[in-house]
Amino acid sequence: MTAEFERSGLTIHRARFADIDRQAAQLSGYDQIYRQLSRGAFDGSFTTVEGGQGAGIYVETVNQAIEQFSSVPEGQTSLVFLCGDQPSARFGARAFSPGTAMLLGSGAEIDFQSKPGTHVCVVTLGEESMRQSGEASALRPTARGETRLIDNAAATGRLVQTVSALLQCALLAAGVSIEVFDGDSFTAEVAAIMAAMTGLAGAGLADRLPSLDRRAALFRQARDMIQETLDTVSVSYLQRRMDVSRRTLEYAFQEAAGMSPHAYIAAVRLDAVRRALKSSDDSIGDIAARHGIWHLGRLAGQFREAFGTLPSEMRRCTPL
């Protein structure tokens, strides 16, 4: 299902996706990479509403556990929050739950892990528009590369309600012939939202992202090692390199990723094979070997369990 509308500077796009990488590409300018950790065919949806001056609202749902990596484009400020009653997510290996929001300056790193059923919203605005909307109250965009945590259930609740109403207005405008809502109106509303949330930071009600605790830091370190040595990495290798016990490693992965180190390595390997199949015409065997999967006879079953399709079928459906 895909629907797209344009009206007086307002662009609206709504679609469902069975391809995780096509959904990842919907957030323009963020160069997102998605990594699927849970098993099963992917099913997601993405709604985009964009006006002028970098104003945008992007709402996404996913049915799998996904690691998302990206960064805020230059010249933009972004606000990330969860919509409604749903599972808590992870932001930079820290708990991220409904009732909290992240305010990010341009260039800030987004390291986000969503669970099945996650419903996340991103609001963006160009920094020049942020400056203009904040001149009267001396508000300024969030500093470059900075992430602020807004842990205020009342303010975030109002944010969710305001954004939901704004989306409804935009979708209504797309379905009628009278231009009751245009790009300028949308941009002004987004600017007001960002000014209000940035005002919390100015009032000392938004904190800099706290440091990682020991387990979260261990997970991040291990994850980097896994990515660097994906063809040979093992749990025992991580133990030796990090000088930690298997139990310590298990606790760190369970808390940060909801799975064991062994299961995480297996999921990352399969996802790397999935992405390589879509970008390379090398043989399936060569691709699997490059990512540490040597039992080719088992690959088809593991791949189908992970993604709901065979490696050969995914390749046939993907233009190189």
Average pLDDT over residues 108-128: 90
Rounded distance, CA 320 to CA 281, Å?
7
User: Can you read off the two tokens belonging to residue 124?
Assistant: 């963006």
How many angstroms separate the CA atoms of 147 and 183, rounded?
Answer: 28
- Nearest 5°: the CA angle 138, 91, 66 is 135
Give the pLDDT confidence score for residue 136 in this predicted structure.
46
In this structure, which long-range contacts are made by residues 1-6, counting pairs with CB atoms below 8 Å and at least 24 apart in sequence?
5/174, 5/175
Give percent of the chain above pLDDT 70. Answer: 87
Q: Which carries the bigger pLDDT value, residue 318 or residue 277?
A: 277
Strand partners, 80: 102, 122
CB 36 within 8 A of CB 69: no
Q: Work out the pLDDT band at 86, boundaries 50, 70, 90.
A: confident
DSSP state at residue 191? H
Q: Answer whether residue 135 shows pLDDT above 80.
A: no
How does residue 178 score in pLDDT terms, banded at 50, 70 and 90?
Answer: very low
Domains and CATH numbers, the chain: 2-208 (2.60.120.10), 214-316 (1.10.10.60)
- pLDDT, tens digit, for every residue of 12-53? 888 999 999 999 999 888 889 999 999 999 999 999 999 888
pLDDT of residue 226: 97
Amino acid identity for residue 270 in this structure:
L
For the full predicted model, state whether its pTM sits above 0.85: yes
Provide the 10 A C-beta neighbour count for residue 286: 10
Checking if the pLDDT of 251 tops 50, the result is yes
Task: Flag whether pLDDT at 145 surpasses 60.
Answer: yes
53-57, 90-94, 123-127, 301-305: least confident range: 90-94
Task: Evaluate whether 191 touches 130 at the Cβ level (below 8 Å).
Answer: yes
Query: Is 225 in contact with 238 (CB distance < 8 Å)?
Result: yes
Binned at pLDDT 50, 70 and 90, residue 177 comes out as: very low
**Rounded CA gap, 112 and 276, in Å?**
22
Which among 47-51, 96-100, 133-137, 270-274 has the top mean pLDDT? Answer: 270-274
Q: Of 15, 23, 59, give the one whose Cα is nearest residue 41.
A: 23
Q: Which two tokens stand for residue 316?
A: 């046939």
Residue 147 has which token pair?
A: 């992430």
Using DSSP bridges, classify how beta strands 33-36 and 66-71 pair: parallel, antiparallel or unpaired: antiparallel
Quick one: average pLDDT of 160-184? 72
